[in-house]
Amino acid sequence: MVLLLFGPPGCGKGTQAPLFRERLGIPAVSTGDMLRRESEKRSSVGKLIDGLLAEGQLVPDELVNRLLEARLAEEDCHDGFLIDGYPRTVEQAAHLNDMLDKLHFPRPVLIHMDVPDRVLVGRLSARWNCPNCGAIYNVLSKPPKDPGRCDEDAALLTQRKDDTLRTAYRRLEAYQRLTDPVLAYYEEAEAGKVVHVNGHQRPEAVFEEIKAALEVHVLVPVRARARG
Ligand SMILES: [Zn+2]
């Protein structure tokens, strides 16, 4: 099975991805990790990536596609894999489908974690940090003992620009603008399948819901084909 994990910033996608390897035995391939690993290798490609990122430029599609294709051809991906963070555009989605055809993989199932905006904005803007020692707090999940002050040194906590309300709304809007066309692409029957799960529940429950959806959309048809 080929799975694509999608979800807005703050939806808890990062918690779900490793569960696929632990529980279903399929690796989670993250294009972000892939680029980081390449850059750590200090290969010529790695140095090129470093240069682009240092200049605040995007790594070109062609390079990401080449690395991804090499990764998907590796042994551990043989029985399927999950991709996190890709494709971000319709062009990339079309290219991924070509790549999957070439490697004899089925069309992907896109799992989208749905979480209401108000919840996401709450989570995204809940982070505060200590300008003195760098400690990070979260008013929802890890509040400081004394509101607004660091537990370690009592310094006044501040918020990164990324963590404020307005930025949170902007990030959600950007996500939607980027993702809607990709979702529409996979909603075409021949391109793939889109499954929405409720991401606004405990991580365990989210994973159970994903697994149940896969039984319906992936595992059952595969078994049925094998028998018939
Ligand atoms: Zn501190």
Mean pLDDT, residues 200-226: 78
pLDDT attached to residue 219 = 62
What is the C-alpha separation between 218 and 3, in angstroms, rounded?
Answer: 10
Determine the residue type at 148: G
pLDDT attached to residue 27 = 94
Q: 37, 107, 149, 171: which is the annotated catalytic residue?
A: 171
Cβ within 8 Å of residue 176, ≥6 positions away = 8
Q: Exposed/middle/buried for 60, CB within 10 Å: 0-12, 13-18, 19+?
A: exposed
Is the pLDDT at 114 greater than 90? The verdict is yes
Mean pLDDT, residues 28-46: 89
pLDDT attached to residue 228 = 37
pTM over 0.95: no
The DSSP code for 204 is: H
How does pLDDT run across 167-196, given as a tens digit for each residue?
889 889 999 999 999 999 999 988 899 999
Q: 71, 123, 127, 193: which is the annotated catalytic residue?
A: 127
What is the CA(132)–ligand 1 centre distance, in A?
A: 5
Do you know the residue count of the chain? Answer: 228
Class for the domain spanning 2-115+198-227: alpha beta
Pairing of strands 2-6, 136-138: unpaired
Helices 31-40 and 44-54: angle between axes, nearest 10 degrees: 110
142 carries an active-site annotation:
no
Give backbone dihedrals phi and psi of 85, rounded to 5 degrees, phi first: 95, 15
127 carries an active-site annotation:
yes
pLDDT attached to residue 208 = 96
- Map out the domains of the chain as residue ranges: 2-115+198-227
pLDDT attached to residue 140 = 84
Which band of pLDDT confidence, cut at 50, 70 and 90, is reported for residue 148? very high
Mark the residues whose beta carbon lies below 5 A from ion ligand 1.
Answer: 130, 132-133, 135, 150, 152-153, 155
